[in-house]
Amino acid sequence: MMISQSEKEALYKVIHSRRDVRGQFVSDPVPDEAIGRLLEAAHHAPSVGFMQPWDFVVVRDEATRKRVKEGFDIANAEAAAMFSGERRERYCSFKLEGIVEAPLGICVTCDRRRTGDVVVGRTANPEMDLYSTVCAIQNLWLAARAENIGVGWVSIIHHDHIREVLGIPCEIVPVAWLCVGYVSFFHETPELEQAGWLPRLDVRDLVHNERWGEKSL
């Protein structure tokens, strides 16, 4: 199956306009059909040994999401304490989650024992199943952008808190809590870039020719 020029352009538009959404969620519910398309896209991600280690916990209940938010508040206070001076003040000014504002959350997990102890492609690097799960998250994120649905990954939260709130078994790894919902707008550039926290690096400075450190192409 060949990809047309218009399809190619649409794909690159989605990639370059994907954003980590935090504060622009609206209360409109996301239809089940749209959620299904996002999950189907995630489920078609590449996975090492075709083990498909992911599961998706879809959470609409506001009380549950408020309990998840409590875990963010704890971890966020810990994170703020790691910075000092003006850097801490700037960190505390950022909006870093939309757990309650978004109409639903999706917790993406990794079952590291899904297909047994020995997995094709994971023998030398056992963490490949976690990387596969991240590929599923990226698929979901890009599909959401194509649907004009916002996604925000809340990484400032302890796994054990998510396990407790959602009843996730101890052997399952919660990889991501995603805030999902329609938004009032998408930022033109990432918010941390806009705030001057860090610039976007020039990709030309990150490409090596044949060997590390050889920059000439």
- Model pLDDT for residues 181-203, shown as the tens digit of each residue: 999 999 999 999 999 999 999 99
- Identity of the residue numbered 97: E
Q: Range of 64's domain?
A: 20-206
177: in domain: yes
158: in domain: yes
Q: Write b or e for each residue in 30-47: b if 16 or more Cβ atoms lie within 10 A of its Cβ, otherwise e.
A: beeebbebbbebbeebeb
Task: Please give the mean pLDDT across all residues of the chain.
Answer: 96
Q: What pLDDT sits at residue 179?
A: 98
- Model pLDDT for residues 67-104, shown as the tens digit of each residue: 999 999 999 999 999 999 999 999 999 999 999 999 99
79: in domain: yes
Band of residue 215 on the pLDDT scale cut at 50, 70, 90: confident
160: in domain: yes
Residue 3 tokens read as 């990809």
Res 217 pLDDT > 80? no
Q: What pLDDT sits at residue 139?
A: 98
Q: What pLDDT sits at residue 205?
A: 92
- Model pLDDT for residues 23-72, shown as the tens digit of each residue: 999 999 999 999 999 999 999 999 999 999 999 999 999 999 999 999 99
212: in domain: no
8: in domain: no
In total, how many domains does the chain have? 1
CATH code, domain carrying 171: 3.40.109.10
* Terminal alpha carbon distance of the chain: 32
Q: What pLDDT sits at residue 21?
A: 97
